[in-house]
Amino acid sequence: MSVQLPPRGRGTATNPHNRFAPNRSVAEDDGWYQEAPLTQGTTVTLETAKSIIARNTSPDIPFDRSINPYRGCEHGCIYCYARPSHAYWDMSPGLDFETKLIAKTNAAALLEQQLSKPGYQVAPITLGANTDPYQPIERDYNLTRATLEVLLRYRHPVTIITKGSLILRDLDLLAELAKLNLVSVFISLTSLDDELKRILEPRAAAPKARLRAIRVLRDAGVPVGVLLAPMIPMINDMELEKLMAEAKAAGALSASYVMLRLPLEVAPLFEEWLQAHYPQRAEHVMSLVRQSRGGQVYDSRFGSRMRGEGVFAELLAQRYSMAVKKLGLNRRDSFRLDCEAFCPPGGQMSLL
């Protein structure tokens, strides 16, 4: 079976149908063959958002509110569960998700407005729940940094999830937040293999860069955990213990993992990726995925969607539990942030 390889620096070569679009386009070979470009550029649309704090009630997620300064993600991770969200903006969850991005230019100003609303109840806000706040375009738009400046100004707690080494640019803000017990960071670490990282997460930071980020953040007093997400059967699951050991050596205080999730359009995109890069292993990988998801490629039920079920999932959970205990990566008390210091815009800050 012939499989088209992605453009250089991208996770996928295809743009599957947007499930909300009324019409479907089909490519036909009319004889006018043109070679695909070796690169696919990034375009950014500027958006004036109407709201910035998203809420959730999922029992599988340890936070109830989040901020995503960007829609789409240039890191291009083929497995990203957020890809289907791009269909809401009349774009494909495929190549569009990583090349046609949206920047919420008023994110910081809007956050300040929402924090000042009467009756606002403080709780840690998570930056990076859907797309990475430190993806490459943050260098130009600085929306994440501006958001952190607002949170520091009003002493609001924040948790950051990223696989971008660009987070070290904001070490000054993070160190100040850490002194006030207002920040925790979770670095997503998927593989120590540079080649696997290159095809799995094309524009994300290299493994060594992420480990360095953990080390530098910890030296600055920032509590850091590591997220092994996702664990993919027969692709990176064999690295579980090594990933945790390297993270511990870099200074990580905790570790958690997520089993590969393939909702909606992510499933066919991931299967295409397998055929392109691991054709001899593809059938076995998908067999283990289905065994861990009740015979399907995805199970959205709360309680099982993050970890899976069945023999493979249970074995992975046992390996994780043993490694956490051995390495002491269970210092969760370090991630309890201060919610009492919050002073809303226009309020009187405590002198104590």
Q: Could you tell me the sign of the dihedral formed by the alpha carbons of 250, 162, 234, 254, in that order?
A: positive
Average pLDDT of the chain is 92
Q: Tell whether 19 is covered by a domain.
A: no
Count the neighbouring beta carbons within 10 Å of the beta carbon of residue 178: 20
Q: Tell whether 5 is covered by a domain.
A: no
Q: Tell whether 343 is covered by a domain.
A: no
Q: Tell whether 167 is covered by a domain.
A: yes
78-87: average pLDDT: 96
User: pLDDT tens across 143-168, in order?
Assistant: 999 999 999 999 999 999 999 999 99
Q: Could you tell me the sign of the dihedral formed by the alpha carbons of 50, 53, 57, 58, in that order?
A: positive
Count the neighbouring beta carbons within 10 Å of the beta carbon of residue 171: 16
Count up the domains in the chain and report the number.
Answer: 1
Instruction: Tell me how far apart the alpha carbons of residues 99 and 10 are, in angstroms, rounded to a whole number.
Output: 8
Q: Tell whether 31 is covered by a domain.
A: no
Q: Tell whether 83 is covered by a domain.
A: yes
Q: What percent of the chain has pLDDT over 90?
A: 82
Q: Tell whether 200 is covered by a domain.
A: yes
The residue segments making up the domain with residue 296 are 43-335
Residue 247 sits in a domain whose CATH number is 3.80.30.30
Q: Could you tell me which of 74, 185, 181, 187 has the C-alpha nearest to residue 135?
A: 74
Q: Tell whether 4 is covered by a domain.
A: no
Strand blocks (E) in 183-293: 183-188, 224-231, 254-259
pLDDT, residue 1, reads 54
Q: What percent of the chain has pLDDT over 70?
A: 92
